Amino acid sequence: MEIMNSQDRLVFALDVPDGKEAKRYVTMLEGVVGCFKVGLELFIREGPDVVKMIQDNSAANIFLDLKLHDIPATVRRALRSASKMGIKYITIHSTEGEEILETAQEVKGLGLEVLAVTLLTSTSASSLSNLWMSENIDTAALVLDRATRAQKSGCAGVVCSGEEAKVIKLKCAEGFKIVVPGIRPEWSRVLGDDQNRIATPAQAIKDGADMIVVGRPIRDSEDPRAAAQRIIEEVQ
């Protein structure tokens, strides 16, 4: 089983508009964070070049957060292409069931770990009820069901909120990674926050998270490197 230190557990979300700004943060946070996450906005703007930029300027892992959601054949080919980029993690959506999740087996042994997104942390219980036209949606049960399906299908782990990390850790086998975004340190202030299911760094790790994804609390702080270091100290 992979042994992770506190630095390995911290993923910085490169939620910035372009490669120039991304490079500024990569250079600033090199040697502090264990992984850089490239999301949809940045990847559409810069393409694979942004991955090479990170590789040229940092020894940290790379997390390509594209939340792939298409027919299985397309997702399978996309994963094969991603496995040649030298990244460590990539996300797919879990909402379409086992057929999509089983595409993770396409890159088994190639160094690419597929993480299934269970439910976006911006999704509240009320919005989920409106979507499904039901007032009896058990969010935790829904996320756990998607997590167990992801594990059985061959995914390396899941992305979930801190609220569900504990039950997933209890129900899923050892070594199944739990990645928690929506991290908000008690000392941080995020204006116009669109996250609903949030957790502090220490609480997320205590509840079973293997990695935490932090964006705005680091990016928008006066001293991003010091903010990242402070979070690492909180999860030691």
Q: Which of 67, 88, 166, 169 is catalytic?
A: 67
80 domain-assigned: yes
Amino acid at 36: F
214 domain-assigned: yes
35 domain-assigned: yes
Q: What CA–CA distance (Å, rounded) separates 152 from 137? A: 23
What number of other Cβ atoms are within 10 A of residue 111's Cβ? 10
220 domain-assigned: yes
Mean pLDDT of 216-226: 95
Residue 223's contacts (CB-CB under 8 Å, 6 or more residues apart) are: none
What tens digit of pLDDT does each residue of 15-74 get?
999 999 999 999 999 999 999 999 999 999 999 999 999 999 999 999 999 999 999 999
1 domain-assigned: no
100 domain-assigned: yes
What backbone torsions phi and psi does residue 144 show, to the nearest 5 degrees? -65, -40
165 domain-assigned: yes
Q: What is the pTM of this model?
A: 0.91
What tens digit of pLDDT does each residue of 145-190 get?
999 999 999 999 999 999 899 999 999 988 999 999 999 998 987 6
Whether 67 sits among the annotated catalytic residues: the reply is yes
97 domain-assigned: yes
Per the structure, how many domains does the chain have?
1
Q: Which domain holds residue 133?
A: 6-234
Q: What CA–CA distance (Å, rounded) separates 35 from 54? A: 10
Q: What is the CATH number of the domain that holds 80?
A: 3.20.20.70
The position carrying tokens 């996250």 is 195
